[in-house]
Amino acid sequence: MKNTFTLLGLGLLLVACGGETSENERFYESDYKPDTTQVTGPSPQAAGSANNAVAMDQGAKLISLSDCLACHREDEKLVGPAYVDVANKYEANDKNIDYLAGKIIEGGSGVWGQVPMTPHPNISKEDAREMARYILTLRKE
Ligand code: HEC
């Protein structure tokens, strides 16, 4: 009696597996084309965070669009100090961001040496603040 049940069970198992196989076969033989655009394309969420990253790096973008890189590198001294050194010198607070934004617009010398930084009268206060804010995020110490 026990054996009959076992056989019955095995039989059912085989039927079940058989069913599954033919289901798979139907899947692969059909013209069904999975829509991969959903998988490979950026999800709305990913696009959102990418936009955030762009917004956060606004300062970096403004710096790359201006002439700053002619005299500054992020991590080595050129004509002007490395931005990392600037970030290590000033705490990232409103007062320092204001001060550095003013310096970016007005230029000047005497803080890092006698070589003057050229003034940038065409940069708006907001853009200069974005640049300063970005530079101060580079702090390493
Ligand atoms: C002609 C070269 C030159 C260019 C172009 C230049 N800088 Fe400078 N920068 C300097 C020098 C030199 C100093 C150091 C000035 C000093 O010792 O007071 C300096 C200093 C700085 C400081 C630190 C200021 C301080 O008082 O500690 C910041 C921030 C800065 N530059 C940002 C920028 C940004 C942003 C730009 C682009 C809009 C830029 N610089 C373009 C040469 C330059």
Rounded Cα distance between 46 and 95, Å, is 34
Residue % of the chain over a pLDDT of 90: 58
Question: And the tokens for 50?
Answer: 């990418």
Q: Look at residues 39, 141, 58, 41 and name the one whose alpha carbon lies nearest to residue 92.
A: 141
Pocket-testing residue among 57, 69, 71, 106, ligand 1, by greatest number of atoms within 8 A of Cβ = 71
Q: How far is CA 80 from CA 40, 108, 113, in A?
A: 44, 11, 9
- Ligand 1 atom closest to 116 (CA): 12
- Ligand 1 atom closest to 99 (CA): 26
In this predicted structure, what is the pLDDT of residue 43? 45
pLDDT band for 141, please (50, 70, 90 cuts): confident
Q: What is the tens place of the pLDDT at every residue in 59-103?
A: 999 999 999 999 999 999 999 999 999 999 999 999 999 999 999
In this predicted structure, what is the pLDDT of residue 4? 56
Candidate from 15-29, 35-49, 87-101 with smallest mean pLDDT: 35-49
Q: What is the distance in angstroms between the CA of the first residue and the CA of the last residue of the chain?
A: 79
Identify the structural domains of the chain with CATH numbers, from first to last. 59-136 (1.10.760.10)
Decide if 110 contacts 134 (C-beta within 8 A). Answer: no
